[in-house]
Amino acid sequence: MRPVLNIELDYLAQLLDKEPCRGAFFLLGENYFHQQDYAASVEVSRRGLQLYPEDLELRLLLGRSLVALNQLREAEETLLPVVEQVRRWGEVFAALAQIFQLRDRGPEAQEAETLYRLLQGSTASETSGPARPTTEAIPESSESKQRRGRTQVLYTLQKWQQALQAHKPE
């Protein structure tokens, strides 16, 4: 018998075939990623990028899933455009730094300036070299994983419903 969570994800995938929207692709792919079904996450992310090729969240999810599958060359090709886009967005922090400085909000200006410098100069160096884990690996019980998975699916269903309502024609 298949776990309930997998059946719910299959149902979400069927709904996606009927009502494709950017948020639904991302949420389903993210759920597969968290369930460590990286191949399914790659498939959903690629399908989403076919319809929404400029979507950076889908591109990031695809890249992370490819890394998990040890498809490093393809992951790098997928993620490099994200790095370039983030660098362009760094200009936002430069403008905010000026605004904060003119408003005598020194600490916020300094923080925005630091973020701008990091995005402009260090982004490339952050993507090269050995990967650093973002969190410590803590063993999790099977029951805890299943509870977390069900919660994530319910959250996904709620977000999906909101996304579909926002895209319905009046």
Per-residue pLDDT tens digits for 25-63: 898 899 899 999 999 999 999 999 999 999 999 999 999
Would you say residue 135 lies in a domain?
A: no
Would you say residue 136 lies in a domain?
A: no
Would you say residue 19 lies in a domain?
A: yes
What local confidence, expressed as pLDDT, does residue 13 receive? Answer: 72
- The answer to whether residues 55 and 3 belong to one domain is yes
pTM: 0.58
Would you say residue 77 lies in a domain?
A: no
- The answer to whether residues 5 and 41 belong to one domain is yes
Q: What does the H/E/C string look like for the chain?
A: CCCHHHHHHHHHHHHHHHCCCHHHHHHHHHHHHHCCCHHHHHHHHHHHHHHCCCCHHHHHHHHHHHHHCCCHHHHHHHHHHHHHHHHHHHHHHHHHHHHHHHCCCHHHHHHHHHHHHHHHHHHHHHHCCCCCCCCCCCCCCHHHHHHHHHHHHHHHHHHHHHHHHHHCCC
- The answer to whether residues 65 and 93 belong to one domain is no
Q: Does 154 or 13 have the greater pLDDT score? A: 13
Q: What percent of the chain has pLDDT over 70?
A: 65
- The answer to whether residues 40 and 1 belong to one domain is yes
In contact, 24 and 58? CB cutoff 8 Å: no
- The answer to whether residues 119 and 149 belong to one domain is no
pLDDT in tens, 78-108: 999 888 888 788 888 888 889 999 999 999 9
- The answer to whether residues 64 and 119 belong to one domain is no
- The answer to whether residues 149 and 65 belong to one domain is yes
Domain of 33 in residue numbering reads as: 1-70+141-170
Number of folded domains that form the chain: 2
Q: Mean pLDDT, to the nearest integer, of 64-84?
A: 93
What local confidence, expressed as pLDDT, does residue 19 receive? Answer: 74
Q: What tokens does 3 get?
A: 């776990």
